[in-house]
Amino acid sequence: MKILHVIPSISPARGGTSRAIIDMVRALRDRGIDAEIATTNDDGDGLLDVPLGGKSTLYDSIPTYFFARFSPQISALREFAFSGSFTTWLFQHIGEYEAIHVHALFSYTSTVAMAIARFRGIPYITTPHGLLCEWSLQQSVQKKQTYLKLIERANLDGARSIHVTCQQEREDVATLGFKSPTFVLPLALTDTPVQIPDAATRLRQSLNCAPDEPIILFLSRLHYKKGLEYLIPALGRLRDRRFTFVIAGNGTPAYEAEIQALLVTSGIEQRTRMVGFVEGERKDVLIQGANLFALTSHSENFGISVLEALAVGTPVLVTPGVGLATIVSDNSLGFVADLDIESIANVLDCCLDDLDRAKSIGTHARQFTLEHFNWDRIAGELIQVYRDLVTNNAVSRSEIAARAHQ
């Protein structure tokens, strides 16, 4: 089977979803599926230095087609990822693929890919990646509701199925009344994480902390949906406790300034380290060396960074808006707090009271995660979805042809 994955961006600047799509396509290729990616050269405010113009290039070992993103100074237009060259190429080449897998919504590349697939009769599925969740639709509500009504609803109704990554997302999508069925399939880990035996020591040395200093880690893109306005004041209520708070990630200068101000007003600026965007071994040391990984998001359709923490045995604190929250709670993989300052502070206080218990929870979480969240298993289930998609499309075409000859 030849499958094209369309996504507005695979830049690391766009967070864990971009990484997950690369890993998904690699896993599919490892199982014999001729899967490719079509995307733009988006890199947040900048542009990726990659070959353009419809020529396949290997990006992280994946055959990828990059197209120039329209890059005006106006942020909203830049985020829309308009690409005329992508439109031309896709219209010319979409017939070479048996099915299309479209990622994200409310972006030019995703919208036009679904529209062209509908026009050309190519079956497609779409993965919203949380953009149809209640909280997400409440942001820029008038613009999104108008876009959904005038354009995206027809695309979503035309999809053979809608792929969601957790049960909560499925329930949110169900309330919108689309014609297309949904199926739940989680994302997974890239590889089995390599354990760093001295991660705790190395992390504390790099932060100039005592060898036994409790470290609470937030690692994600800095964005207001991540709920730092709850996590930071909650930590501020524990100023009499010993801990160091690490914020790893970057965002807009304006939002980073807001975070700095919140740290000051909460009284924990002196015990907080903002280390910026991290990757590779530095990221691994941070996650493995911390005592607790905290992500208190308003909305997180899955939470790749949470999965990364669980896979190395670092206990997590999440809120119900994180897609993995139910799995964390049902399988005792960490802690789930309500999205309010008091609840988060209470859970943090309990963790700091008994770090040994938190560590044992993390050990159990690692075993569970490595067993249930691997790309080989998930890719196998996705391949069956593709096979059903292609088979049903072939049957439908045969029936149409038979009726035409009657």
Q: Residue 223 maps to which CATH number? A: 3.40.50.2000
Shared domain check, 98 and 20: yes
Together in a domain, 161 and 213? no
CA dihedral 380, 381, 382, 384 (to 10 degrees): 90
Residues 271 and 319 in one domain: yes
Is there a contact between 278 and 248 (Cβ–Cβ < 8 Å)? yes
Q: Examine the domain organization and report whether 295 and 351 are in the same domain.
A: yes
Considering only CA atoms, which of 2, 59, 55 is closest in space to residue 68? Answer: 55
pLDDT interval class at 396 (50, 70, 90): low
Determine the angle formed by the axes of helices 108-120 and 84-93, rounding to 10 degrees. 30
Whether residue 378 is found in the same domain as residue 368: no
Residues 128 and 12 in one domain: yes
Q: Give me the numbers of helices (H) and strands (E) for the chain, helices first please.
A: 17, 16
Say how far apart CA 64 and CA 56 lie, in whole Å: 5
Contact 305, 334 (CB under 8 A): no
| pLDDT computed for residue 148 by the predictor | 86
pLDDT at 187 over 70: yes
What is the domain range of residue 243?
A: 199-372
Total of domains in the chain = 2
What whole-number distance in Å separates Cα of residue 11 and Cα of residue 17?
Answer: 10
On whether both 206 and 222 belong to a single domain, the answer is yes
Question: What is the average per-residue pLDDT within 380-398?
Answer: 82
Token pair recorded at residue 265: 């007003």
Task: Supply the pLDDT for residue 395.
Answer: 56
In percent, the amount of the chain with pLDDT more than 90 equals 71
Amino acid 14: pLDDT? 81
Q: What is the pLDDT at residue 393?
A: 78
Non-local CB neighbours of 294 within 8 Å, separated by 6+ positions: 216, 217, 218, 231, 316, 317, 318, 348
Q: 179 and 31 in one domain?
A: yes
Under 8 Å between Cβ of 11 and 44: yes
In terms of domains, do 74 and 213 share one? no
Report the alpha-carbon distance of residue 68 to residue 86 in Å, rounded: 8
Same domain as 156, residue 76 = yes
In a domain, 308, yes or no: yes
* pTM score: 0.81
pLDDT tens string 8-57: 999 987 877 888 899 999 999 999 999 999 999 999 888 999 999 888 99
CA 311 and chain centroid, separation = 16
Confidence of residue 404 (pLDDT cuts 50, 70, 90): very low
**Are both 40 and 74 inside the same structural domain?**
yes
pLDDT value at 79 more than 90: no
Q: Under DSSP, is residue 6 helix (H, G, I), strand (E, B) or coil?
A: strand
Which range scores top for mean pLDDT: 10-19, 133-142, 207-216, 387-396?
207-216
pLDDT of residue 371: 86
